[in-house]
Structure 1
Amino acid sequence: MIDEVIFYDTLRQGLWVALIISVPILTVALITGVTIGLVQALTSIQEMTLTFVPKLAGIGAVFWVSMSFMTETLVSFFHDRIIPLIIGG
């Protein structure tokens, strides 16, 4: 049986890894949304699809660029933390 301290520490590290991985994508979505919203407010164009397409393009581009970072972070978390717990070390 796994110890309570080890469980909560692993859970904390997992949440931290999830936060670190999601920050680039969420930041680009936030900046793009605010920028497009500001442009819509200044020009009085209230088209709903105008916010969707640039956000999707920005998220796709950032995901493509940061994919190796995300993969390395997840693989190192699994190798350092999850796999030893499964093996029992």
Structure 2
Amino acid sequence: MTEGAIFDILRQALWIAVTISAPLLGVALVAGVVVGLFQALTSIQEMTLTFVPKVGAMLVVFWVSMSFMTSTLVSFFTDAIIPQIEGG
């Protein structure tokens, strides 16, 4: 296996990590901004108010996008990693 092949697989793996984590991070960002605005408007400074909605929204999005994440990872391993292990 050459250096170029290793860098190519690493680049693909990092891009897949970004693709898989984007829905969760996007929802966490939106939920945090919404809760932050709500806290600023109502002057409520409760720590659990920021944590619980974010975790709940992230769990829902994770549950909905789990099949996408699984199929993306499986296709990466079957198309890129396993052929390199086999020597192809």
Which residue identity is paired with 2:43? Answer: S
2:43 paired with 1:31: no
Structure 2 CA distance for aligned equivalents of residues 88 and 29 of structure 1: 41
Name the counterpart of 1:22: 21
Please, what is the CA RMSD of the aligned residues? 0.4
Name the counterpart of 1:84: 83
Structure 2 CA distance for aligned equivalents of residues 34 and 82 of structure 1: 38
Name the counterpart of 1:47: 46
Which residue identity is paired with 2:3? Answer: E
Structure 1 CA distance for aligned equivalents of residues 75 and 16 of structure 2: 10
**How big is the shift at 1:84?**
0.6
Aligned length: 88
Between the two proteins, what is the percent identity of the paired residues? 66
In structure 2, stretches of 5+ residues that fail to align are none
Secondary structure at the residue paired with 1:45?
coil
In structure 1, stretches of 5+ residues that fail to align are none
Structure 1 runs of 4+ aligned residues shifted over 6 Å read none
TM-score relative to the length of structure 1: 0.97
